[in-house]
Amino acid sequence: MTALVRDPIPLPARPGRRPPAAGAASLALRPLLDPPRRAARVIAVFPAALYLEMRGGPEPRVLAVVASDAHRLPNSVVVVAARREQPFRSIREGGEAWVGDGQVEAGPLHVRVRRWWDPAPVLGPVHTSALAYGVRCLEDELAGAGTAGGGLGDHPDPAALAECCAAGDLAGAVEAAERIVGLGPGLTPSGDDILCGLLVSLRGVGDALRNGRTAVWLADWLGAAVTADAGTRTTALAATLLHCAADGGAGAEVASVLRCVAGHEPADPAATGQAVRRLLAVGHTSGADLAHGVLAGCRAALALTSMHTASRVTA
């Protein structure tokens, strides 16, 4: 069992100097935060989040510093301040930053990591009947919210990807997935958000199902395919999030929806509805795209498990 870490606590002040803020960091960021500090660049600043890109090196290359009430990405360091306190107001895009030795520095911001949290949703055993019910609840919520197609509208490849995954067609799934890497505008294009939701749900639900090995196998191959050259095909942030998703890392809102669909929250459509609405509120279309990716992954895991069970019965 992996313990979830609570939000960071303020550090006591030291006489004569302003102390660093305490942060809670994703375990996915250990390769960045544990070694000696290295130079980074501020690539985006928002009221609730700051994004830093490392200069060279392996993934993860982008680190997010987020307010305590912001969307918690799987590559985040969470600080004590809420967005209303404007913790990043003095930081400018393009500015210098430093990451390492357990710290993050950007302009006047100085964060020391005091706690760690695991971005991979941990699901207990999942029964196919509970998963089927959760999938129906998620379908109803997305239909009611009018999010059909997400940010890609009627583009055919997301549907083709979902169909190939559910059929266990690896070659077709890889072709469709590679066509939507980097597809769409923004820091996290819609195609990448769909892939992140798909990869996380295939792996998480597949691990939790009794006969879910095929879903995990599919996640392994798809993850390897879409991350192979993601750094040259999409934004730096989206490439990092694809790598996180390939390893099972998800944002807090995605994890909450997965737990509901898997039946680990109360078997109540209202609980699923609340979790889905929180996810849909993320970004302009990111939440809807992530939700459709989660739905495709859960449907595929359910279909692949049913195929596996049927093949054993007829063998």
Q: What is the pLDDT of residues 130-186, one digit of tens each?
A: 999 999 999 999 999 888 778 898 899 999 999 999 999 999 999 999 999 999 988
59: three-class secondary structure by DSSP = coil
Radius of gyration of the chain (CA): 20
Does pLDDT of 108 surpass 70?
yes
Contact 11, 20 (CB under 8 A): yes
Contact 135, 261 (CB under 8 A): yes
DSSP string, 183-221: -SSSSS-HHHHHHHHHHHHHHHHHHHBTT-HHHHHHHHH
Write down the pLDDT at residue 112: 97
**What's the DSSP call for residue 263?**
T
Report how far residue 242's alpha carbon sits from residue 225's, in angstroms, rounded to the nearest whole number.
Answer: 11
Write down the pLDDT at residue 270: 83
Quick one: how far is CA 218 from the chain centroid? 18
Banded pLDDT at 218 (limits 50, 70, 90): very high
Q: How far is CA 283 from CA 118, 190, 288, in A?
A: 22, 11, 9
Contact 92, 3 (CB under 8 A): no
Residue 28, Cβ neighbours under 10 Å: how many? 26
Report how far residue 79's alpha carbon sits from residue 214's, in angstroms, rounded to the nearest whole number.
Answer: 38
Place of tokens 């500015």: 95
Contact 247, 28 (CB under 8 A): yes
Write down the pLDDT at residue 87: 93
Write down the pLDDT at residue 18: 61
Does pLDDT of 57 surpass 80?
yes
Report how far residue 285's alpha carbon sits from residue 154's, in angstroms, rounded to the nearest whole number.
Answer: 14
Task: Give residue-wise pLDDT tens across range 194-209.
Answer: 999 999 999 999 999 9
Place of tokens 């990448």: 192
Query: In this prediction, what percent of the chain has a pLDDT beyond 70?
Result: 91
Q: How far is CA 226 from CA 77, 83, 91, 230, in A?
A: 25, 33, 32, 6
Contact 93, 54 (CB under 8 A): no
Residue 13, Cβ neighbours under 10 Å: how many? 9
Residue 15, Cβ neighbours under 10 Å: how many? 4
User: What's the distance, Cα to Cα, between the start and end of the chain in Å?
Assistant: 36
Write down the pLDDT at residue 5: 47
Across 135-139, 155-159, 243-247, 306-310, least confident range:
306-310
Predicted TM-score of the model (pTM): 0.90
Q: Dihedrals φ, ψ of 21, to 5°?
A: -75, 150
Report how far residue 34's alpha carbon sits from residue 166's, in angstroms, rounded to the nearest whole number.
Answer: 40
Percent helix, strand, coil in the chain, to 5, is 50, 15, 35
